Structure 1
């Protein structure tokens, strides 16, 4: 019979976990409780006592058409960015898994973009896709004003979608490659002996076995699109033009730090958190049913 491991020195155990617990308390739980309190009260921008207002802040944001526009824009951004990043990463992983010429080099450099901070990614793509200085300027010379994210809303949306997808594709690539390498080679070889080509093997053998990984990355990418896209939006478009890229997370920043309306920003952050929780629940409740774990 195997005995259960025990740790007798509780003081040492407490001392070892105390720093991590302190970080979680200070940077997660305390701000969450504070935001929840501010969401149900009015927070003076320059100090003073809070006044309890109940659901008034939530009623105000739900009656604001500008806020609903940010919700719509955020959902569109999440769908487009998640689809593009997952599709790109899957294609890269399938190519590297085939061990084509230089696959070791590609496996190493494909992960680099995820190590770059979001503001740096936004700055790079802002220059690359600048209508008057980047490589797109050559296109505008033949078709004037064909691409201008500073004036056209959909151009700005495409810009932030491509930038965010480029960064997240590197993250997704690692998981797809690991999942592909976990598939027994005997299955791939058997399909090849049956006459299946590369595309047929990917469609009928490899991709169906990637369902658990696809589901995991779907949850992670959608969540990331809602909560970790501020840096790219702030640097590339600033929420414009005409609020075409005013994502929920960026509107929280604008109302809280620029408009100094902390109570409204706190209420919006609570709504954003509940939206992410609801989307995650829907994915686990309905999407996971179709996932088959080998």
Structure 2
């Protein structure tokens, strides 16, 4: 028989959830409503209210070459970061899963990077990949200008992808390690008794059983790359050079707060929000329900 919590005072439950409801309303629903209103209006040049323009802001965005460049750059960054982070995290989890001396300490150490704020990570990697004093400055001493993320857009994107992947590795590692530890040990032990080596057991047993975790992390990593990469871009490249790292979330900031195009920035934020909602819907509709252990 299911027991349900009861309260003598009927207002007490509402008072308990009121702070959380206020936080959700003030920091989510209210800004979302304002962004929707801004996206379909146009601020007057010298103030004095807004003018309803309908879909004109979206038409201008989809007709802008700079916006489609930010979409292309965002896709490169998202898939590059997600792929690299998942590959590194899976490799580490497969090695750490083995009970060897000091493995517990390594597990804790590999989780710590996720607690570091994005601006701090950006500063660290900016110094690490500095063309004058970073780790690749030796290459520049041999071949001048072989590595210069300040002037080369491809180098800047690679530097940004490495920093973003490093930030996500710890998160992915936790889930992969939990997935590996949930695999029944008799399966791998039986395969070992049949003569299957570590690589064969990994490809035939462990990785197939990690499929639900893998697809879950793909969606989570892509969503994070589209929405939580502002700190890295702002500290490391500021969208440059020549818009080579001007991802969608940073373009919203630069157009709205630097270019003062609030209506256009609001319309871009609505498009980005719909993209994230689409990824979330895909995750719950297909990944969560279709991916099951067999």
How far off is 1:27 after superposition?
A: 0.2
Matches within 5 A, 1:56-95: 56-95=56-95
Structure 2 residue runs of 5 or longer lacking an equivalent are none
On the 8 A contact 1:110/1:170 being kept in 2, the answer is: yes
Aligned 8 A contact 1:45 1:261 in 2: no
Give 2:22's aligned residue. 22
Distance 1:283 1:26 in 2: 27
Listed one character per residue, the Cα deviations across residues 19-55 of structure 1 (whole Å, up to 9, x for unaligned) are: 0000000000000000000000013577531111101
The CA deviation at 1:276 is: 2.3
Per the alignment, residue 101 of structure 1 pairs with 101
Superimposed CA distance per residue, residues 99-146 of structure 1 (whole angstroms, 9 cap, x where no aligned partner): 233211210110111100001100100000000011110121112111
1:162-183 deviations in Å (ceiling 9; x for gaps): 0000010101101111111111
Q: Aligned pair in 2 of structure 1 residues 109, 3: CA closer, same or farther (>3 Å)?
A: closer
Secondary structure, counterpart of 1:246 in structure 2: coil
Tell me the distance in 2 between the aligned counterparts of 1:236 and 1:3: 54
TM-score (norm 1): 0.95
Extract unaligned runs of 5+ from structure 1: none
How much does 1:290 deviate?
6.4
Take 1:21 and 1:284, find their aligned partners in 2: how far apart are those partners? 24
Partner of 1:178: 178
Matched residues in 1 for 2:5 and 2:46: separation? 53
Q: Secondary structure at the match of 2:11?
A: helix
Query: For the residues of structure 1 that align with 2:293 and 2:41, how far apart are their CA atoms?
Result: 47
Give the secondary-structure state (helix, strand or coil) at the position aligned to 2:145.
Answer: coil
Q: Which is worse superposed, 219-228 or 139-148?
A: 139-148
Partner of 2:204: 204
Query: For residues 170-223 of structure 1, what are the alpha-carbon distances to aligned partners after superposition, in whole Å with 9 as ceiling and x for unaligned?
Result: 011011111111111111111111111111111111111111111111111000
Instruction: Pick closer, same or farther for the CA change 1:6–1:134 going to 2, 3 Å.
Output: same
RMSD of equivalent CA atoms: 1.7
Q: How far did residue 289 of structure 1 move?
A: 7.6
What residue is the counterpart of 1:5 in the other structure? 4
2:49 aligned counterpart, secondary structure: coil
- Taking structure 2 as the reference length, the TM-score comes to 0.95
Quote the offset at 1:10 in angstroms. 2.9
Output aligned runs, 1:112-123, within 5 Å.
Answer: 112-123=112-123
Is the Cα contact below 8 Å between 1:45 and 1:262 reproduced in 2? no
Counterpart of 1:133?
133
Quote the Cα distance in structure 2 between the aligned partners of 1:194 and 1:7.
57
- Which residue number in structure 2 is paired with residue 265 of structure 1? 265
**Cα shift readout 1:254-291 (whole Å, capped 9, x = no counterpart):** 00111111100000000111122234444555666863
Deviation at 1:239, TM superposition (A): 0.4
